[in-house]
Structure 1
């Protein structure tokens, strides 16, 4: 998946990161916090800060320990909350660390780590546009229309 953009829902003004499948027209909206949205947007836009932010610091710590963020995976949606794993590679070992998707994504944009989502998450929470979308403005407009009609509770699963 790739980070397609960060937007805000129209009702609660809550930030949403929009992930897109590399192939196809499926999008995965994930509601996130304001600080994490700022951390993701700042890095995507190439903004520099005078001092390291938390995600910059963590990226540097991982690097100094001779490790790397090898991937992040949005693993599940449970009780209206998304879960993610950060996979670190250190020497010959891989270490998986539980994370909020927003923090994992903020690390991914800093370390150029690939982003994945479990098939079940995409099936349950993904949005597919009927026709091929080429223009970013067109996707943003369709996504805003979707946001006008949706709430986080719409993504709750039964059982």
Structure 2
């Protein structure tokens, strides 16, 4: 971003120099070849700087779009993970309540088969929720690591190419 600001500053300075050069040309009648050459050079510099700003802006927009895409993907993964963790908390709460009911029934000396079934179902749901949360967590980690691994692979490939060119 500071490159763009610096380039804009340089373009503005070049345009000021062009304007002052035009003023001088109009004041001297426009016959000065050195002034015309300076004007032409400034036009070239201005065109080059304008092109660099355009390229930097395009690169910036491209990088920004990639960043947004990555952020959206990560946000979706985190939302899935949050949903699975909430499911896990709910299942664990139900399991805890079922186990408390079983302990109370056992303390009262009353055998309650439906409490045993309810506790087993709560335990199964807790296991399923834990498994789903672990998968979501692993997917979130994979999604975060994939771009880093791709960058490392690209860097290794570039380094290997340089080494290969050095051997040749």
Q: TM-score, normalised by structure 1?
A: 0.18
Q: TM-score, normalised by structure 2?
A: 0.18
Structure number with higher relative contact order (C-alpha < 8 Å, ≥ 6 residues apart): 1
Structure having the higher strand fraction is 1
- Find the structure with the greater CA-based Rg: 2
Structure having the higher helix fraction is 2
